[in-house]
Structure 1
Amino acid sequence: MREFYNPLNEKEKVAGKIRGPVDNWNVKGRLHVGYHSSINGRLKVRGQVYIGRYCAIGDECRLFSTSHHPQVINLQIWLQTEVGASVAGDTKGPIKIGNNVWIGDNVSVMSGVTVGDGAILAAGSVVTRDVAPYSIVAGSAARHVRYRFCENVRKQLAAIQWWNWDEDRLKRNTKFFDLVLDPETDVDLSKTIVD
């Protein structure tokens, strides 16, 4: 099974590998989307962006791994093209979004940012720096609010990597997926997992 899919390939969308209204996506660059991720509305992508498996991305999100270079004479790309000048943008690198990440509505993620597995980017956030796995960030510029789970549970989830399980194993583990844990609760997740 491939790690990423092309969201603009209709066959892959119809097969359920990617979910969402492709007609509402404005992609200028390369967008790589992991298995069963959902992009649930209008999306703008500039540059190179990787989205992991089982992510949920809200409406009106912007993922910009490139932007205008602030030191060029002219900031209008159309004029650069018209006069035959370079239109190369400024970048800190691709955007990398981990697995099972929830991105709320109206979120902007900027160049070079890596979002860890299981993170939540609250609605309206502007994310300008890396986000730790299983953390919740909010605001403009986004700040760490709290972790979703205690450190031991986060370590277990990082080791388990359930998003790589096949669909049969996912379905056998209802008890695991039914767990509701607050940030202070420490449990042995292996006791809930069926191989």
Structure 2
Amino acid sequence: MTIPAKKRYPRSGDRQTVYLDAVVTDPAIEIGAYTMYNDFVRDPVDFEKNNVLYHYPVNKDRLIIGSFCSVACGAKFIFTSANHTMTSLSTYPFPLFYEEWDLPVAQVTEAWDNKGDIVIGNDVWIGYEAVILSGVHIGDGAVIGTRAVVTRDVEPYTIVGGVPAKPIRRRYAQEVIDLLEAVRWWDLPREDIRRLLPVLRKGDAKELACALGKL
């Protein structure tokens, strides 16, 4: 597993970009190594407060983001408590106002439909002001377009966009995707990644696999 950077700012003099593993404190949010967030509107250090919304401990849901992800300004992760239940005749959250309606406090989570964790793979690029909804899983290497609203799972190395987000195209042929998923370069030690940067940046998956003795 790649050792996290554990420093707040990746670039000297740049206070708009942070490594998220160095600024997030909520134990229900798990951030992989070198995943970065850029915000030119608000302080990126406040990502947990400004970008992870309706994330309350009562639901026990988690935000998991892999390593080497790029999260653009204003991207939002919206959790279960933003939902209103669709299983009752009214969408009004009566259990949330249990004191007003003399309901048991233990029923508060019945005010919404639980969608579960948000899980983001490795090397995922999330575009400007994209919205990821609760329960969504995004595969490794995916790209989420600007202001897309992601309501369903995204396959690895797939580009999606729109409202609601739909697949636009795959980044590579399936055999290349399978190879990248097998290699999992993001789990390599830092020095190995540094050594392989020319190959990674070149974009030849087979060359990368050969360099790692996988072919």
TM bucket (normalised to shorter chain) is 0.7 to 0.9
SS at match of 1:63: strand
Deviates more, 1:34-43 or 1:145-154: 34-43
Gaps of 5+ in 2: 11-17, 40-49, 56-60
TM-score normalised by length of structure 1: 0.76
CA pair 2-149 structure 1, distance change in 2 beyond 3 A: closer
1:166 maps to what in 2? 189
2:14 maps to what in 1? none
User: CA offset at residue 76 of structure 1?
Assistant: 7.8
Distance in 2 between residues matched to 1:21 and 1:35, nearest whole Å = 7
2:114 maps to what in 1? 91
Q: CA offsets, 1:165-188, max 9 Å, x none?
A: 10110111122122146xxxxx62
Higher helix share: 2
1:119 maps to what in 2? 142
User: CA offset at residue 80 of structure 1?
Assistant: 1.8
Task: State yes or no: 1:74 paired with 2:95.
Answer: no
2:33 maps to what in 1? 35
Distance in 2 between residues matched to 1:115 and 1:137, nearest whole Å = 10
Q: Which amino acid aligns with 1:193?
A: A
Q: Which amino acid aligns with 2:148?
A: S
SS at match of 1:105: coil
User: CA offset at residue 40 of structure 1?
Assistant: 1.9
2:19 maps to what in 1? 19
The answer to whether the 8 A contact 1:116-1:132 is kept is yes
Deviates more, 1:115-124 or 1:54-63: 54-63
Higher strand share: 1
Distance in 2 between residues matched to 1:134 and 1:97, nearest whole Å = 12
1:8 maps to what in 2? none
Structure number with the bigger relative contact order (C-alpha 8 A, sep ≥ 6) is: 2
Distance in 2 between residues matched to 1:65 and 1:132, nearest whole Å = 20
CA pair 121-134 structure 1, distance change in 2 beyond 3 A: same
Q: Which amino acid aligns with 2:51?
A: L
SS at match of 1:188: helix
Distance in 2 between residues matched to 1:137 and 1:74, nearest whole Å = 32
CA pair 58-15 structure 1, distance change in 2 beyond 3 A: closer
The answer to whether the 8 A contact 2:8-2:20 is kept is no
2:58 maps to what in 1? none
TM-score normalised by length of structure 2: 0.70
2:159 maps to what in 1? 136
Distance in 2 between residues matched to 1:81 and 1:58, nearest whole Å = 38
User: CA offset at residue 95 of structure 1?
Assistant: 0.8
1:188 maps to what in 2? 206
**Which of these residues, 23, 44, 52, is aligned with residue 44 of structure 1?**
52
